[in-house]
Amino acid sequence: MRVLSGIQPTGNLHLGNYLGAIRNWVRMQDEMDSVVADTATREPGQCFFFLADMHSITVHEGREQRIRNVRDMAAALVAAGIDPDRSVLFNQARVPAHAELCWLLNGTARIGWLNRMTQFKDKAGKDREGASVGLFVYPVLQAADILVYNATHVPVGEDQKQHLELARDIATKFNSDFGVELFTLPAPIIPKESARIMSLRDGTAKMSKSDPSDMSRINLTDDDDAIMAKVKKAKSDQEMLPETAEGLTGRPEASNLVGILATLTGRTTDAVCAEFAGKGFGAFKPALGEVLVETLRPIRERFLELRTDDAALDAILDKGAAKAAAAAEPTLRAAYDAMGLMR
């Protein structure tokens, strides 16, 4: 079993990044220790986690900022529990096989398939003619990310299911067109807990680094006092908390805050509601703040320590990239050979 997942290296990491993706990666890493990938060799399962800096070029960003973002994301992942000795951690740009296979797969992917990708329509908006080619073929690079390692499983949320299906379609067509059984068809992993963390100022909008209000998010660099202050000022409502989660319907801010506490403590929203039933947010918010502080403090301290040592972070990414490149080379070589391309 080989699991692969990537994340764009965005600056200003926040609670949504941690609960939405990073924490699940740590759990997958821990679970993989007991998984056997090959019953013949008894080799253990592997997790490949990468920073999608090649994907990030679809949005203009300064050179120094992109470099900083990659290193900060690496620091955050390690601080949160990703172990470079147990998982393969790297950034795309250090492994040229991603871009190479993407170009080869561009000959297999169909324009009609890409035209159906809803994320392109969402991100390009009304200015489709002004969007970059990179944004349009972005899903082909995603397919290459997966197929170059013959990943067997890929964690996906609702917004990524379509992209995984495209990867499977490309793999199937390539195998058929060239008469090979080269690419494994990756299966989806639906995370047991798929946390969707919303803004502290608007329960209908995702927590985001791009929100102009810093009070809308809990940053991983926020100190204890800042976290408590943001939770205290988080938008809520005047109603008491209900006995069950069903009573949160139509209360987006209340639902968000209860959901954050439930996710952090590994409980259901029903269980959290039962604990605070009949109480207001004056009693609830301090409890949420304390859990956030205790959860994020060790991650913040380790993150701030790691991000001051660029050489150490680069060494971690170099080490992971070497492992990734070695794993990708046989598949890439076989793809060239199947297509009759001489290297």
Catalytic residues: 123, 206, 209
The Cα–Cα gap between 237 and 279 comes to 12
Q: Write the single-letter amino acid at 278.
A: G
Cβ 95 vs Cβ 328: under 8 Å: yes
Quote the CA–CA distance of 63 and 100 in Å, as a whole number: 22
Degrees (nearest 5) of the Cα angle 187, 189, 191? 170
Q: Are 98 and 325 in contact (CB under 8 A)?
A: no
Phi/psi for 95 (5° steps) reads: -125, 90
Counts of helices then strands in the chain (DSSP H, E): 13, 7
**Residues 6 or more apart from 313 whose CB is under 8 A from it?**
71, 74, 75, 306, 307
Tokens representing 342 are 């001489």
Q: If you ran DSSP here, which 8-state letter would residue 208 be given?
A: -
315/325 Cα distance (integer angstroms): 15
Element containing residue 153 per DSSP (H, E): strand 153-155
Which sign, positive or negative, has the C-alpha torsion 291, 293, 297, 303? positive
What is the layout of strands, in order, in the sheet containing 88-91? 88-91, 46-51, 2-7, 153-155, 187-189
